[in-house]
Amino acid sequence: MRPLSRPLVNKIEAKLESLVRSGRFRTLVATDRLPSGRVGVDGAVLVDLSSNDYLGLSRSNIGTANPFTGATGSRLLGGNRPQTGTFESQFSSWLGVESALLLNSGYHANLAVISTLFGPSDLILVDRLVHASIWDGIRLSGAKWARFDHNDPEHCRRLVAENRDSVDTILIVTESVFSMDGDRAPLVELAEIATEYGVGLMVDESHALGVFGPQGRGCVAELDVQAAVDIWVSGLGKAWGGIGGIVGGSGPLISLLTSAARPFIYSTALPDNAVAWAMGVLTAMPELDGCRQRLQLLAKRLGFPSHIGPIMGGDLGATMTLSNELKSLGYWAPVIKPPTVPPNQCRIRCSLSVLIPDEDIARLETWLKSR
């Protein structure tokens, strides 16, 4: 490659300097996943509080022992394996939706849905704490948007009532379990609003799939609001323990995404063994009630709202001190920093796993009580 031009070098250096000054510069840390919910970092063996492997499935032998086999192309151009369609069919039946579409990540799924379905004549009403992939989908769509206050259905209702006659369609978007705070959305109330006003409802269940609901089908199934949810989305890289994203909904919705969603059309399909893994987890999921119950007991013991528990530090310096203190006690708990969270709301995001032994939970419980 030819050397970068001086103006481009200057631009890169200025942006890096800005990140360093603001405390937002990030570096990769090499980690090694170990048994019993532990991780190897810088030669130390630490209890892993950073992973979304809630049910411990990523360290299991579910799925396939076959060697890695790449799909070598998009699903529309030769990369569509029969087992992928089988997985989608069985997943949709298990979830209780008409149809489903497998994509390469939860990020791709949110991007695909919002950017394909909506445009400048539409309005998206979004909980202000939803994931970055939802915001990026909104930006790509060009749709109008407005935030409603976090977990405030009455604010959402007012926005629907004020705008329903001035746009073509309205979509309400929320996560069911929020990734940074671990709290749950008021899905029953949001479902009532969507039904009352005849507007769309989209729920991202990435942090609920596998953890909540009958057989791990998520909060939508647990609260029995499936009839009001038009678009169901989740990643498969958290409690599912694998890789990929999936959209559930009507047959026409999935047909439209297959034909027009750019993140689907222009991505090489997932490798065969990734799909085989997803199928293996789907088969095992109904039998994991014991793991789900243990996870909720751990959260209750630690005083967390769910299997995700924030430890608030405030500014970046204070939160780094907390992270280092936890590391000295034998826990791997990196800092969540801006722009993921506001500058004065840096935190340790504790992600619990059923793999963490009771004695490590007890030590963490003691530390939390001493703060």
What single DSSP character describes residue 268?
A: P
Of 48, 88, 122, 175, which is the active-site residue? 175
Residue 222's alpha-carbon distances to 129, 171, 296, 341, 355, in angstroms, are 22, 22, 14, 29, 24
Catalytic residue among 50, 88, 105, 238: 238
Strand-pair category, 144-148 with 123-127: parallel
Q: Which two tokens stand for residue 322?
A: 């907390």
Question: Annotated catalytic residue: which of 204, 205, 272, 360?
Answer: 204
Least Cα distance to 211 among 62, 365, 354 occurs for 354
Whether residue 207 lies in the annotated active site: yes
> 3-class DSSP state for residue 32?
strand
Residue 259 known to be catalytic: no
Whole-angstrom Cα distance, residue 300 to residue 293?
11
* Residue 175 annotated among the catalytic residues of the structure: yes
Which one from 207, 267, 351, 353 is the annotated catalytic residue?
207
Q: Which of 48, 50, 51, 52 is catalytic?
A: 52
Give the active site residue among 179, 273, 323, 351: 179
Active site residue 179: yes
- Is residue 272 annotated as part of the catalytic site, yes or no? no
- What sections of the chain are H helices per DSSP? 6-22, 82-95, 106-117, 132-141, 153-163, 187-197, 219-222, 251-260, 262-265, 272-284, 289-302, 316-328, 358-370
Which secondary structure element, helix H or strand E, spans residue 47, and what is its range? strand 44-48
- Give the residue numbers annotated as catalytic, written as ranges: 52, 131, 175, 179, 204, 207, 238
